[in-house]
A and B are shown apart, each in its own frame.
Chain A
Amino acid sequence: MAIEQHDNKTTNKTRLLDNEPVGMTVQVVRVMGDGAFRQRLLEMGFVRGAQVTVLKNAPLKDPVEYMIMGSHISLRHSEAAQVEVTDKDAEFCDMEDAFNGIVETEVAGVDPMADNVLRVALVGNPNCGKTSLFNNVTGAKEKVGNYGGVTVDSKEGWFTIGGRKVQLVDLPGTYSLTEYSPEEMYVRTYIRDNRPDAILNIVDAGNLERNLYLTTQIMDMNIPMVIALNMWDELEKSGDKLDIEMMSRLLGARMVPVTAYNGHGVKEVLQATMEAIDESEQETKHHNVNYGTLIEDSLKELGDMCPQLDRYTVLKIIENDQHALALLDNQDNAANVKIAAAEMRQRIERDYNDDIVSIITDLKYGFVRGALAEALTPNPDRATGETKPGYSFDRLLTNRWLALPILLVLMWLMFEATFTLGAYPQEWIEKGVGLFGEWIGNAMPDGILKDLIVDGIIAGVGGVLVFLPQILILFFFISLLEDSGYMARAAFIVDRIMHRVGLHGKSFIPYLIGFGCGVPAIMATRTLENRRDRLVTILTIPFMSCSARLPAYLLLVAAFFTAKQGLILMSIYLIGILVAALTAIIMSKTFLKHDKTQFVMELPPYRKPTARNATIHMWSKGKQYLQKMATVILAASIIVWALGYFPRHEGQTPQEQIENSYMGMMGKAIEPVVAPLGFNWQMGVSVLTGAAAKEIVVSTMGVLYTGESDADEESAPLKEKLQTATKPNGEHVFDPIVAYSFMLFILLYFPCIAALAAIRREAGTKWMVFEIFYTTAVAWLVSFIFYQVARLI
């Protein structure tokens, strides 16, 4: 393999990718930097000799869309500056030289029914159609399981073929099986620990070069594998021709053309998988990538020292992979193996004059390219740098001038549909819950049990149910946006703005939804792949003022501000955005620092979303919401009810009852804490009951000031009572400063129970507790500064 030597500085012959103009096609020399970011770029095809075309700048100039190996990748300028490139025709390296063919490994026969379950794992790149295939095979009966917190989802389903029942496991989409991202670790640990009877490797037939890189890693695991060439119709449309038989021979695995969304080829690929499982009962010869004499000798030598490990793990030990090395810990000769591996690594790096990760990645891509050179005939009419079909909408949707207006209109439509359309079923559910409560109330004799059932349980569960229509509509839209490929474009368009506060462009949509309701917004963060981004977004969403807080603002603005009411209201929303941005910046710079893997994003081709997938997605999220959240909400609602109900004193008015309840006592206990903000104990109690749902702030004030529990923002007596309420010393309780301070506190203090439960579900209890304290501290501080400064002025 002819590799020219490069030092660490950019030479005259090479340049940095971020300096290349739009339309330019160049050749990758190397990726600088280290760690996860570099690994991700290598996996995505930024390997020595690969051609990259600069397609376009985002409307805000950053990031930039590049085409590599037929895929469209978005990179920020700062990231593109890590890629060293040269002229596309420069002859410094021929990747096909890296093609050494295959080596064969003898694999002993296994009994696929040893654990009484036939198990097939679906493995493939993100967005290659795995879930479409999974849903097609298993129907809508999949069980959604969550592992390792909420970072990685895998789904299990069953299908029957030839009278045999088979478990199909849909693993998270991954570009490779290294140790840099949660999905990679999950997939590789799953395969290692569960040893599925076969792997069904789904590859995007229109993007074989990049997709087969993962295949080369699976090949090393020596598990029977069948390759589903998904989106075969797109390959045929593109005019490329693939010799499936030759490719299957080279990879040592059956390849079956499939079009998952319409079911074409699905039966055949399942049949081929079963045949592969049956063959594995006898000793078989397994194909592996031939890495050349030096590495192959090292693999053999190290493999002999630890015979219980498969070829994949041995290679990872040579690559100094920490998880693979940890597997040696219980082995007697662990120290010797590690020393030998380190020596081999040094020898290989010296010989190839590169680092081990790049060498192995180059060799794997070299193998893929060599195989494709034999079996794939590209459409001769397509010029270098020309995009494949499926990207034509980008001319409009990521257009420099039209992209932002189109994005805003689409977001507005989604927002409107979710909250306006969703308001109708929400109202029906509210009415239904109300009628049910009334019916139970009439049917049951008065007493404590009736109060618990009607005011605690029915009202509590009703509080969960009312969000369901919004959740379903929202996830239907999100599914359409994701399936069509537009979600990635939205992130591409706004990434620059979000990057300023240390976030990814994809955080934009959950924030927007947060103005309607925090619960679906927090759930919508699932579209963010990076856990750090998700956490920062989840923890800052509650600062986006949700619609439930609006009644309190409307009441206070109407009562205490006679002029510029709209501006006052808008300032509250803007302060929320500002606090969210500052929080995100602080978190990104302190305890939630950047993980560089997040920046590289693939822009998939546009595809027609299917109603079936959107419905499955919507229902799956709705079901999870009902099952997981109702338990938490129910328990919390009962506790809140009990705090406001006990202790009981006969003959008290509702005002006296709440004043003397544990909740009232808590309000009085916290009075010294809220007094510096200008609040009295009634406002303290309103804030506490508002924990259940923000709308309750107004109804609690109604109870405390007027004795009406059904008070709303239009209640004239409440408005008047607030205006005329006085302290024991005769001063007014409320004035514009107190009202604004109170609004600031309502805007920023801890989210309602439903949102907290969503945070617990999505981020874990630790972060939910953090959020309670953090938001309350911020609310107190902001209100305190405002109140004290305004009083001085």
Chain B
Amino acid sequence: MTTSAIIQTIVVLGIVAVALVYVLRRVSKTLRGHDKCDCGCGCGKNCKNKKF
């Protein structure tokens, strides 16, 4: 394997890793998040107007 091919492989794997991390972070953010009330008031999980 040439040096150029090695560098290319590292760059590509890096890009794939970034894409994977991006998608996983999105997923984990959702899993960590709480059930937000959809009433729109923005006061979070303690919202007493629990909608939907």
Q: Check if A652 is an interface residue, CB within 8 A of chain B.
A: no
Nearest neighbor of A765 in chain B, beta-carbon distance:
B30
A322 and B42 in contact, given A452-B15, A639-B19 (Cβ under 8 angstroms): no
A323 and B20 within 8 A (CB): no
A764 and B30 within 8 A (CB): yes
C-alpha gap A634/B19 in the complex (Å): 8
A189 and B5 within 8 A (CB): no
Known: A147-B42, A642-B16. 10 other contacts (CB 8 A): A148-B38, A151-B38, A182-B40, A183-B40, A185-B39, A323-B49, A448-B12, A452-B15, A639-B19, A639-B20
B40 to chain A, nearest CB (A): 4
A447 and B39 within 8 A (CB): no
For chain A residues 462-488, which have a beta carbon within 8 Å of chain B? Answer: none
B19 to chain A, nearest CB (A): 4
For chain B residues 4-52, which have a beta carbon within 8 Å of chain A? Answer: 4-5, 8-9, 11-12, 15-16, 19-20, 22-23, 26-27, 29-30, 36-43, 48-49, 51-52
B44 to chain A, nearest CB (A): 10
Q: Which residues of A contact B30 (CB under 8 A)?
A: 764-766, 769
A182 and B51 within 8 A (CB): yes
A698 to chain B, nearest CB (A): 26
Q: Which residues of A contact B40 (CB under 8 A)?
A: 147-148, 151-152, 182-183, 185-186, 189
Q: Which residues of A contact B (CB under 8 A)?
A: 147-149, 151-152, 179, 182-183, 185-186, 188-189, 322-323, 326, 445, 447-449, 452, 531-532, 595, 631-632, 634-636, 638-639, 642, 764-766, 769
| In the A-B complex, the 6 residue pairs with the closest CB atoms | A186-B40, A182-B40, A765-B30, A148-B40, A638-B19, A635-B19
Nearest neighbor of B21 in chain A, beta-carbon distance:
A635
Residue among B4, B41, B49 having the largest count of chain A Cβ atoms under 10 Å:
B41
A449 and B26 within 8 A (CB): no
B22 and A635 within 8 A (CB): yes
C-alpha gap A642/B23 in the complex (Å): 14
A638 and B15 in contact, given A147-B42, A182-B40 (Cβ under 8 angstroms): yes
A449 and B11 within 8 A (CB): yes
A639 to chain B, nearest CB (A): 5
A185 and B5 within 8 A (CB): no
Q: Which residues of B contact A (CB under 8 A)?
A: 4-5, 8-9, 11-12, 15-16, 19-20, 22-23, 26-27, 29-30, 36-43, 48-49, 51-52
A149 and B36 within 8 A (CB): yes
A148 and B19 in contact, given A447-B5, A449-B12, A764-B30 (Cβ under 8 angstroms): no
B7 to chain A, nearest CB (A): 9
Residue of B5, B27, B41 near A186 (CB, 8 A) is: B41
Chain B interface helix/strand/loop/mixed? helix
Q: Which residues of A contact B16 (CB under 8 A)?
A: 452, 638-639, 642
A35 to chain B, nearest CB (A): 12
Q: Which residues of A contact B39 (CB under 8 A)?
A: 148, 179, 182, 185
B15 and A179 within 8 A (CB): no
A531 and B38 in contact, given A447-B5, A449-B12 (Cβ under 8 angstroms): yes
Q: Which residues of A contact B12 (CB under 8 A)?
A: 448-449, 452
A635 and B23 within 8 A (CB): yes
Nearest neighbor of B52 in chain A, beta-carbon distance:
A531
C-alpha gap A764/B29 in the complex (Å): 11
Q: Which residues of B contact A769 (CB under 8 A)?
A: 27, 30
B38 and A182 within 8 A (CB): yes
Q: Which residues of B contact A183 (CB under 8 A)?
A: 40
A323 and B48 within 8 A (CB): yes
Nearest neighbor of B50 in chain A, beta-carbon distance:
A322
B2 to chain A, nearest CB (A): 9
B20 to chain A, nearest CB (A): 6
Residue of B5, B19, B41, B51 near A448 (CB, 8 A) is: B5
A447 to chain B, nearest CB (A): 5
Residue among B16, B20, B37 having the largest count of chain A Cβ atoms under 10 Å:
B16
A549 to chain B, nearest CB (A): 25
A28 to chain B, nearest CB (A): 28
Q: Which residues of A contact B51 (CB under 8 A)?
A: 182, 531, 595
Q: Which residues of A contact B8 (CB under 8 A)?
A: 447-449
A-B contact pairs, 17 of them (CB 8 A): A148-B39, A149-B38, A151-B38, A179-B39, A183-B40, A185-B39, A185-B49, A445-B4, A447-B8, A448-B9, A449-B8, A635-B22, A638-B15, A638-B16, A638-B19, A639-B23, A766-B30
